[in-house]
Structure 1
Amino acid sequence: MIRFAKTIVAGVMLMGTALAAQAQETFELTFSTYLPPTYEYVWKPVEAFVKTVEDKSDGRVKIKVFHSAQLFDGYDELQALSRGDIDITNMTGTYPSGTIPALTLFTLPFVFDDVAHMERALAAGLADQGMKQELNDKHDVVILGLAPWDPYEFYSRSTPILSESDFVGKVWATSGSSDAKAIQLLGGSPTGMPSSELYLSFDRGVIDGTPRPLLTGIGRSLYEVAKHLTISNFAIDTSILAINRQRWESLPADVQQIMLDAASERDRDQIARVRSFVEEAIAKYEEAGVAVHRMDAEAVSKLRQATKAAVDEFASTVENGEKYLEIIESTRNP
C-alpha cells in the first residue's frame, strides 16, 4: 500500500512538473506587415492585438513586429507567410488576389453599398464559401480575423472623375486584378502599383489617377499631389489578420484561444475606427485644398452597369462565385 501511494505521489509530481513546463513554455512570433503606423485605424488595432496576446498569455507569447515593409511588401506577404518566413501578417486582400482569385471579391466594382453592408456580409459567412479553406489547404495560412478598410475612392491629378468618360485615356494605378479589370472596362489604362509608389508617380505625372481608400491617401500624403477626390464607394477592401498554419498548430490550445479572442477584438476595433474615420478624412482633404466631389446615384448606377462584366466574370470563374454574390445581395439593405 505504501509503495502504491508513493507511485501515485510520484505520478502526480511528474504530471505537475509537465504542466508547469508547458505553462512556462514561451513562443516567439514574427509579425510582418507592409502597413506604416500612419495607417492608424488599421495599425492601432494591430498594436492592441499584439499587446493583448502578450498580456493574456502572461508573457508566454512574444511578438516582434516589423512594419512599413521592413521585411516584405504587400505583394510578398502571402508567400512569406506560406513559407514560414514570418509567423503573422496583416494582409490587404488586393495584394494576394492574383494568387487567391476569391479575394478579388473585395475590390469588385460597386458590389458593396457601404462598410456596414460588408460587415453584415462577413457576419453571414461571406469568407466561409471557400477562401478560408483555400488559404489553409493550399498556402498553409489560417485566417484569424477580417475587417473592412474604408471604401476605395477615386483620386485624380488634374481633372475630377464624375462620369465614365473621365476614365478614358488616363493611366490608373491599381492594386489588384479586380480593380484593374474595372478600370479597363471604363476605358482607362491600369498599371499595378503598391501604395508606396503612388506619391512619386502622381508627382512626376506617371499616373493620372488611382482608386484607393481614404486612409491610403492620408498615409501616403496624396493630398499634396492629387487635386481631386471623388467619393463613390467604388470598392471596399479587407484587412486579413493571418498566421502560418504550421506555426498555428504548434501553439497550445489556450494560446490559440487567446489569439482568436484578440483577433475578434481587433476586428471590432477596426470597424469602429473606420466608421468614425471617413468624414474626418474628407474634411482633412478639403482643408488641404483637395477638391472633393460626391458622385451622384445616377452616375454610380451607370458605372456599375459599365463594369458589370467584371462581376459576371467573378461569378463564372471563381469557385462558389455566385454564392459569394448571393450572400452580398441577401445582406443588402432594402
Structure 2
Amino acid sequence: MKQPWLFATALALCMGWGTAASAEKPIELTFSTYLPPAYEYVWKPIEHFVDTVHKESNGRVRIKVFHSGQLFDGYEELPALSRGDVDIVNMTGTYLSGTLPATNIFTLPFLFQDVPHLQRALEAGLLDLGITKELATQHDAIVLGVAPFDPYEFYSRRNPILSADDFKGKVWATTGAVDARAIQLLGGSPTGMPSSELYLAFDRGVIDGTPRPLLTGIGRSLFEVTKHLSLANFGVDTSILSINRKKWESLPPDIQEILKKAAKQRDDDQFARVAAFVKEAVATYEAKGVKVHRIEGKNLQAMRDATAGSITEWAAQVPDGNRYLEIIEKTKNQ
C-alpha cells in the first residue's frame, strides 16, 4: 500500500516554536495531485509551497500531499474538491473543460505564442473574466494561484507531423473538447485520455499521436514509445492551485495570508522552472532517440488556418469569450 508524502510534520512541537503554537491543535489539510514527482517543475514548487506554509505558520498547519493519483485522477480533482473530500488540489486547466468550458482557452490552437505570453495574459486579468468566480460560486473552489505547463507539442508514434495533412487518418489522444475539435478540423480522430494512460496506448498502437507538454513525455517516458516530436506551441495549459471554499472560510485570516503568499511564490517558482525546462527538454528528447522537428512558416500557418474555426466556436459558446481573446491579442507582443 502506497504511503502519502507528508512534508509538514510535528517538528514545531518538538522544537518548541512558541508556547501558543505548541498548545494549539494543528490545522490539517489534505493536498491531492494526480501528477507524479517525476513532473519536477510542478512537483518542486508544490514541495516548496508545503514547506513555506509549515514554516510561516510555525507548525500550525500540516499539509499531507498525495501524489500520482493516489486519491483522485486529473478529471476527478475538481469534483473531489467541491465535495470537500480533499482540501487542496492542483488542477490542470483543460481537465476542467467539460465542467467549465472557459478553461479551454488554454488549449485553443496556436493562440499563445509562448509561456511568457500566457503570463502576461494572466497578469492582465484573463481568469478574472469569469473562471475564478465560477469556480468559487459553482464549485466551492477558491483559486490560490495559477502557473504554467510548458507548451503542448505533437508526439507521434511512427510518422512525423510536419504539415496539416499529417494529422489525417490518425487517432489522437486529447485532453479537452477544444483541442479535440482542433484535431478533428485537421482531419484526425480525437479520443479523450489522461496522461497516465498514454504510454500503454502508444505501446499497444491504440493511438498514433497526442498533443502534450514536453514534461509529459519525460514524466511518462513517452520517448520509449514514440519516434517523433514536432514543435509548434499548440497550446499552453495551466496548473491551478485551489482550496475548498468552506475550508478556506474556516481558516484564520493570518493562515489565509500565509497560504496566499506561499501560492504566489509557488507560481513564480513554476514559471521560472518552466522557462529553464523548455531550454533543456529538446536536447533530452534527442538524447533519448526521438527525432525532433520544428513546424514553421507556411506549414504552421496552414495549421492555424485549418483550426481557426474552433476558436470562433469557443468564443460564441463562452460568456465574454471575445473579451478573453482581446486580452490574449493585446498581450501578444508586449
Same fold (TM over 0.5): yes
Tell whether 2:41 aligns with 1:41: yes
Task: Give the corresponding residue for 1:301.
Answer: 301
**Structure 2 residue 258 is the aligned partner of structure 1 residue 258:** yes
- 1:228 alignment counterpart: 228
How far off its partner does 1:94 sit?
A: 1.1
- Shift of residue 298 of structure 1? 2.1
1:268 and 2:268 are equivalent in the alignment: yes
Cα distance in 1 for residues equivalent to 2:132 and 2:27? 25
Q: Distance in 2 between matches of 1:21 and 1:31?
A: 22
Q: d(CA) in 2 for partners of 1:303 and 1:241?
A: 32
Tell me which residue corresponds to 2:139: 139
Counterpart check, 1:179 vs 2:182: no
Aligned to 1:216: 216
Paired AA for residue 320 in structure 1: D
Corresponding residue number in structure 2 for 1:288: 288
Q: Which residue of 1 aligns with 2:159?
A: 159
Query: What residue identity is the alignment partner of 2:286?
Result: E
How is 1:1-334 mapped onto 2 (pairs within 5 angstroms)? Answer: 24-333=24-333
Task: Provide the C-alpha distance between the structure 1 equivalents of 2:156 and 2:294, rounded to a whole number of angstroms.
Answer: 14
* Whole-Å separation in 2 of the counterparts to 1:23 and 1:209: 56
Secondary structure in 1 matching 2:97? helix
Post-superposition Cα deviations, 1:215-254, rounded to whole Å, max 9, x if no partner, equal: 0000000001000000000000000000000000000000
Residues 165/156 of structure 1: CA separation in 2 closer, same or farther (3 Å cut) = same
* Deviation at residue 324 of structure 1 after TM alignment: 0.6
TM-score under structure 1 normalisation?
Answer: 0.93
Task: Measure, in 2, the Cα distance between the counterparts of 1:21 and 1:68.
Answer: 32
Q: TM-score scaled by structure 2?
A: 0.93
User: What's the secondary structure of 2:158's corresponding residue?
Assistant: coil
Supply the AA of the counterpart residue of 1:39.
Y
Measured in 1, the distance between the counterparts of 2:125 and 2:180 equals: 26
RMSD: 1.4
1:160 partner letter: P
The structure number with the bigger radius of gyration is 1
| 1:281-333 deviation digits (Å, cap 9, x = unpaired) | 11010001100000113221111111011100111110111111100000011
Instruction: Answer yes or no: is the 8 Å Cα contact 2:21–2:60 preserved in 1.
Output: no
Matching residue's letter, 1:148: P
Higher mean C-alpha displacement, 25-34 vs 83-92: 25-34
Task: Give the distance between the partners of 2:105 and 2:217, measured in 1 at CA.
Answer: 22
Mapped to 1, the partners of 2:180 and 2:23 lie a distance apart of: 50
Counterpart Cα distance in 1 of 2:241 and 2:219: 20
The 2-side partners of 1:99 and 1:168 are apart by 29
Is the 8 Å Cα contact of residues 150 and 236 (structure 2) preserved in structure 1? yes
Q: Tell me, in whole angstroms, the C-alpha distance in 2 between the residues paired with 1:333 and 1:302.
A: 21
What corresponds to 1:4 in structure 2? none
Change (3 A) 1:314 1:23: farther
Unaligned regions of 5+ residues in structure 1, if any?
1-18
**Pair 1:254–1:298, CA change in 2 (3 A):** same
SS of the equivalent of 1:187 reads coil
How far residue 20 of structure 1 moved from its aligned partner, in angstroms, is 5.1
Partners of 2:97 and 2:183 in 1: how far apart?
Answer: 16
CA distance in 2, matches of 1:22, 1:128: 39
- The percent of aligned pairs where both chains have the same amino acid is 66
- Unaligned runs of 5+ residues in structure 2 are 1-18
Aligned amino acid, residue 264 of structure 1: K
| CA displacement at 1:60 relative to structure 2 | 0.5
Partners of 1:287 and 1:279 lie apart in 2 by 14
